[in-house]
Amino acid sequence: MNLVIMGPIGSGKGTQAGIISKKLGIPHISTGDIMRKHIKDETDIGLKIKQKLETGSYVDDTLTSEILKSRIFKDDVKNGFILDGFPRTINQANILSEMVAIDKVIFLNVDNDIVIDRISSRLTCEECGAMYSKSSAIQKCEKCGGNLSQRKDDKKEVVENRLEIFEKETLPILNFYKSLNLLVEINGMLEIDVVTDIILKELVI
């Protein structure tokens, strides 16, 4: 089963993608994670991506598509995948449809004020990427012991800019998938396990 999970930053799509990946035994493909690895490894692609992300801008379609294509045709994806972070534009949706058939698109709907609060108040492990709330008393990553810091693209003003871009460039994709009868819209403000149960029921698991 080939799935796409969509939603604004902070909607919980990464969390849900990870859970559904384990439930269905298919890989969770996060273009964001792939990009962050390029940034960490300081590759040429990573340097280009870093400049975009730090201002809240989208990485251009050609570069993002190349990154995805290098992952989506690996052997572990033969039974399906859950894709997180792509597509983000109508052009990307068309590119994806040319690559592979999509069975379902899950959209997690979350209010902007909640998104801003969630993202601007989180810290990220500099080593493994695990995320924590600033309100917690955690000083070091509980998974690997790495240092915690706020990513530049998680600052409030950048989050607001990313939401503006999301509404302008990504929301129109919903009508595209709705017209194909692939879209499932879910309230992303519900408890995590409730959202998971709804997704699984929609997938008829």
pLDDT in tens, 58-95: 778 888 888 888 889 899 998 999 999 899 889 999 99
Contacts of 67 (CB under 8 A, 6+ apart): 31, 34, 35, 38, 45
pLDDT of residue 171: 87
Tokens 């998971």 found at: 196
Mean pLDDT check: name the lowest of 49-58, 90-99, 130-139.
Answer: 49-58
Catalytic-role residue among 13, 36, 50, 118: 13
What is the predicted pLDDT for the residue at 67?
Answer: 84
Report whether 64 contacts 31 (CB < 8 A): yes
Around 92, how many Cα atoms within 13 Å sit in the side-chain half-sphere?
A: 27
To the nearest whole percent, how much of the chain has pLDDT over 70? 99
| CA nearest to 111, candidates 194, 10, 6 | 10
Give the active site residue among 23, 48, 52, 151. 151
Q: How many residues does the chain have?
A: 205
The yes-or-no verdict on residue 127 having pLDDT over 90 is no
Assess whether pLDDT exceeds 60 at residue 55. yes
d(CA 115, CA 66): 29
Structure tokens of 167? Answer: 């509404």
Per the annotation, the verdict on 13 as an active-site residue is yes
Amino acid (one-letter) located at 145? G
At residue 17 the predicted structure's pLDDT band, cuts being 50, 70 and 90, is very high
Catalytic residue among 36, 50, 104, 162: 162
Partners of residue 132 on adjacent β-strands: 123
Q: Tell me if the bond preceding 87 is cis, omega within 30° of 0.
A: yes
- Told to judge if 134 belongs to the known catalytic residues of this protein, a careful annotator would answer no
Active site residue 122: yes
Q: Residue 118: is its pLDDT beyond 70?
A: yes
Q: Which two tokens stand for residue 12?
A: 């919980």
Work out the average pLDDT over 156-161. Answer: 87
The number of beta carbons lying within 10 Å of the beta carbon of residue 45 is: 17
pLDDT tier at 108 (50, 70, 90 boundaries)? Answer: very high
Report the mean per-residue pLDDT for the chain.
Answer: 89
- Helix/strand/coil for 100: coil
pLDDT on residue 111: 92
Strand locations in the chain (E): 2-6, 28-30, 81-84, 104-109, 122-125, 131-133, 148-149, 183-187
Task: State the catalytic residue, choosing from 50, 88, 104, 118.
Answer: 88
Q: How confident is the model over 163-174, as pLDDT tens digits?
A: 998 888 888 899
Please give the structure tokens belonging to residue 135. Answer: 């309100």
pLDDT at 110: 93
Q: What is the pTM of this model?
A: 0.78
Catalytic-residue membership of 36 = no
Task: Report whether pLDDT(205) > 70.
Answer: no
71 is catalytic: no
